């Protein structure tokens, strides 16, 4: 049996902390991988919408914010609920599911670009409302401190590294498994049929509205899971500004750079996009600073200031020369390169 | 101030800001009308226009104010228009037959590049940019047009700035409408927007017409940059996001692809912002603007003046 890329990715990722026991470099790599796992869960949620169903969503950060805040309200000891980690995560996912349904119900009939702007507007509304309803959300301070998660008596402390790593990796594996099974189910095939041709799909007995709504709520649920996990790791809901338009755009870039509609592609995309963003540029900046090669007053010499330029150019070049992404699904590839023979 | 005076004052502020938003929205709506692309970089193009305007002001120090204004109104739109045309030529033109998401993502990329260029522009060693000491900090735009109240000693202020906004934007919008409706080039634009293939079969060079649309839309953003800089007297490199968001919302609200729709949408957004600032609370203004947008779209999916769209099968 051929080893699929996404399973290989998860297997290798599982070995990183083990190697880290012997090689210190692997441990610092592992610490950088944790936010990548969270972003991968977020991007997989978006992938259900944009990748499978072909609905453009420009506001996934809103669902992530919702997840983080709902989780914080359910667990923080200034509120009466004070749930444990596992029931709180479960409830947060359910709330995300409902929120996706609530936003989707009135708007799902809109044409593609209009729906995109509605999701964008929703993102802004959620972010500003969280900022303004400071009685509940504590404004820009965020809700904190949150209790550490526990698993069978073990407490996840913020200074430990490997337990968090495996917790996030475990959730990522679960999400990958779920998405893969969804993709191969009747529902997943219906989604892809809608993406390719909504009219033809509806003629074949697919109910486009129902299926799109399902994609909307399942995607939202996964995004809020990413938010809940991130909040538990930070020990705080974070401030509303952490969930701005940029986060939504980065998630979209992960899906598109990696390969739309392909789970393995999204994992690779998270690695490349978030990795470039934090790992490469930060290391380079720190290296230059340590060797006193840059002055702090000159804006042009700090590599961190070139971040958007590089990110933007990468997107433009990617669309120009490899619009199907690094690791496209077979269908998308066949569609964009109709004259090449299919791989045997 | 009495209640009526407050209302009138907010009406004036809302209309002035609305006209500026409408100018940016026109660029969005023209490009969308012709190639169905949400040009995400448009707000950041507007931001670069503001920096270009400040540079022009800095380099023309000492000239009489009317001459500086004329130069601003010529050079900035030319700069923005050419830049927009160039981006279309280099990036979007190659993606005409690609999937619909490809040009959109490309536009997001362009907006990031513009944002970074704005940051670097603010770091230039010129006096107006504080000699490049704090590149990311907001820059003061000199007060070229006075703040004097034209209504004499009335409590309601209608300043020279408000007049300037009207004097520049209204003729421009009338001119644009006449251009699109009456001229040969405008007819070609409408033809390409309606059906690109059919237009090409009639001998229209579609790529050239699309390039002209980008040039024109960019030019309008350039005029908006000049007007907004003169009106608000402060610019910063992240201002493109908010401006672009408002303008895009305006374009969708009015019915994307429709020129009068973009103007109407811009005025609606400007007024909604002003009244929400006054009568509700500034911090809820964004929420209200987007809530209006979502409600309008739910009940009138093609916007206020948008044509009913029938999906072709």
Q: Which domains does chain A have, with CATH numbers?
A: 5-335 (1.10.3470)
Please give the residue of chain A at the shortest CA–CA distance from B94: A320
Question: Measured between CB atoms, which of B113, B116, B298 is closest to A106?
Answer: B298
Which of A109-123, B26-40, B199-213 reaches the highest mean pLDDT? Answer: B199-213
Please give the residue of chain B at the shortest CA–CA distance from A122: B290
Spell out which residues of chain B touch residue A298, defining contact as CB-CB under 8 Å: 123, 132
From CA B7, how far away is CA B12, in angstroms rounded?
9
Bond before A265 cis per omega within 30 degrees: no
Is this complex's ipTM strictly greater than 0.85?
yes
Q: Are B294 and A107 within 8 A, CB to CB?
A: yes
pLDDT, tens digit, for every residue of A322-341? 888 888 877 777 776 766 66
Mean pLDDT, rounded, for B281-307: 86
Question: Measured between CB atoms, which of B105, B119, B290 is closest to A121?
Answer: B290
Question: Measured between CB atoms, which of B108, B119, B281 is closest to A299?
Answer: B119
Mean pLDDT, rounded, for A42-58: 92
Among the residue ranges A190-194, B25-29, B296-300, the one predicted with the least confidence is B296-300
Spell out which residues of chain B touch residue A114, defining contact as CB-CB under 8 Å: 252, 297, 301
Mean pLDDT, rounded, for A72-97: 91
Integer angstrom CA distances of residue A295 from A94, A146, A292, B198: 50, 39, 7, 58
pLDDT, tens digit, for every residue of A222-261? 999 999 999 999 888 888 889 988 899 889 989 988 888 8
Q: In the predicted model, is pLDDT for residue B101 greater than 70?
A: yes
- Provide DSSP, A204-215: TT--HHHHHHHH
Q: In the predicted model, is pLDDT for residue A145 greater than 60?
A: yes
Question: Measured between CB atoms, which of A114, A305, A306 is closest to B301?
Answer: A114
pLDDT confidence band for B41 (50 / 70 / 90): very high
Q: In the predicted model, is pLDDT for residue B187 greater than 90?
A: yes
Q: Are B116 and A113 within 8 A, CB to CB?
A: no
Distance from CA of A200 to the nearest CA of B (A): 10
Q: In the predicted model, is pLDDT for residue B264 greater than 90?
A: yes
Among the residue ranges A28-37, A273-282, B32-41, B81-90, the one predicted with the least confidence is A273-282
The whole-model pTM stands at 0.88
Please give the residue of chain A at the shortest CA–CA distance from B285: A128
Q: In the predicted model, is pLDDT for residue A304 greater than 60?
A: yes
Integer angstrom CA distances of residue B245 from A59, A91, A214, B305: 13, 33, 28, 19
Integer angstrom CA distances of residue A268 from A253, A264, A273, B49, B100: 12, 6, 9, 37, 23
Mean confidence (pLDDT) of chain B: 90
pLDDT, tens digit, for every residue of A112-143? 778 888 898 899 999 999 999 988 888 888 88
Please give the residue of chain A at the shortest CA–CA distance from B114: A309
Tell me which fold the domain B3-133+144-299 belongs to: ABC transporter involved in vitamin B12 uptake, BtuC (1.10.3470)
pLDDT, tens digit, for every residue of A174-188? 999 999 999 999 999
Percent with pLDDT over 90 in chain A: 39
Q: Using alpha carbons only, how large is chain A's radius of gyration in Å?
A: 20
Q: Are A113 and B95 within 8 A, CB to CB?
A: no
Spell out which residues of chain B touch residue A320, defining contact as CB-CB under 8 Å: 91, 94-95, 106
Sign of CA dihedral A191, A197, A199, A202: negative
């Amino acid at each position: 049996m051929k080893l699929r890329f996404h399973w290989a990715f998860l297997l290798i990722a599982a070995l990183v902390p083990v190697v880290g026991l012997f090689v210190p470099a692997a441990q610092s790599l592992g610490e950088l991988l944790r936010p990548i796992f969270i972003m991968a869960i977020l991007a997989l949620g978006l992938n259900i919408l944009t990748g499978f169903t072909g609905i453009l969503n420009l506001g996934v950060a809103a669902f992530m914010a919702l997840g983080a805040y709902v989780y914080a309200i359910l667990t923080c000891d200034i509120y009466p609920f004070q749930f444990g980690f596992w029931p709180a995560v479960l409830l947060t996912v359910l709330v995300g599911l409902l929120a996706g349904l609530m936003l989707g119900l009135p708007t799902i009939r809109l044409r593609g670009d209009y729906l995109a702007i509605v999701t964008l507007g929703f993102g802004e509304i959620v972010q500003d409302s969280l900022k303004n309803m400071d009685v509940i959300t504590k404004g820009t301070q965020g809700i904190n401190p949150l209790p550490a998660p526990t698993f069978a008596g073990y407490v996840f402390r913020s200074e430990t590294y490997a337990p968090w790593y495996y917790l996030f990796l475990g959730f990522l594996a679960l999400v990958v498994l779920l998405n893969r099974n969804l993709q191969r189910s009747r529902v997943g095939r219906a989604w892809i049929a809608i993406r390719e041709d909504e009219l033809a799909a509806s003629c074949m007995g697919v109910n486009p509205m129902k299926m799109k709504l399902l994609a909307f709520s399942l995607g939202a649920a996964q995004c809020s899971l990413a938010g809940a996990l991130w909040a538990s790791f930070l020990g705080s809901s974070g401030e509303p500004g952490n969930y701005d338009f940029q986060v939504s755009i980065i998630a979209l870039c992960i899906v598109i750079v990696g390969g739309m509609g392909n789970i393995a592609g999204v994992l690779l995309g998270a690695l490349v996009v978030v990795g470039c963003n934090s790992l490469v540029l930060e290391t380079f900046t720190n290296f230059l600073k340590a060797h006193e090669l840059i002055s702090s007053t000159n804006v042009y010499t700090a590599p961190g200031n070139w971040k958007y330029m590089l990110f933007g150019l990468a997107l433009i070049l990617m669309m120009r020369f490899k619009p199907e992404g690094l690791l496209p699904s077979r269908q998308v590839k066949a569609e964009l390169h109709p004259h090449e023979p299919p791989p045997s | 101030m009495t209640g009526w005076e407050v209302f009138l004052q907010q009406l004036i502020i809302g209309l002035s800001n609305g006209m500026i938003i409408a100018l940016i929205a026109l660029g969005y709506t023209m490009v969308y009308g012709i190639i169905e692309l949400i040009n995400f970089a448009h707000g950041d193009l507007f931001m670069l226009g503001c920096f270009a305007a400040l540079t022009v002001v800095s380099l023309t120090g000492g000239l009489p104010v009317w001459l500086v204004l004329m130069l601003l109104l010529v050079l900035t739109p030319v700069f923005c228009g050419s830049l927009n045309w160039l981006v279309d030529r280099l990036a979007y033109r190659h993606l005409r037959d690609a999937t619909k998401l490809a040009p959109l993502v490309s536009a997001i990329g362009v907006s990031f590049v513009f944002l970074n260029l704005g940051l670097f522009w603010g770091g230039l060693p010129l006096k107006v940019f504080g000699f490049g000491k704090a590149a990311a900090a907001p820059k003061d735009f000199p007060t070229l047009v006075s703040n004097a109240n034209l209504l004499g000693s009335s409590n309601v202020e209608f300043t020279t700035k408000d007049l300037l906004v009207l004097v520049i934007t209204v003729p421009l919008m009338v001119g644009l409408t006449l251009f699109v409706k009456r001229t040969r080039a405008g007819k070609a634009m409408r033809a390409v927007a309606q059906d690109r293939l059919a237009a090409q079969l009639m001998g229209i060079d579609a790529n050239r017409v699309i390039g002209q649309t980008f040039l024109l839309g960019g030019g309008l953003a350039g005029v908006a940059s000049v007007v907004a800089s003169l009106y608000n007297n402060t610019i910063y490199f992240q201002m493109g996001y908010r401006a672009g968001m408002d303008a895009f919302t305006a374009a969708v609200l009015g019915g994307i692809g429709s020129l009068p729709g973009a103007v109407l949408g811009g005025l609606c957004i400007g007024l909604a912002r002003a009244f929400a600032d006054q009568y509700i609370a500034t911090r809820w203004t964004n929420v209200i603007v987007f809530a209006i947008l979502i409600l309008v779209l739910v009940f009138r999916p093609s916007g206020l003046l948008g044509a009913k769209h029938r999906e072709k099968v």
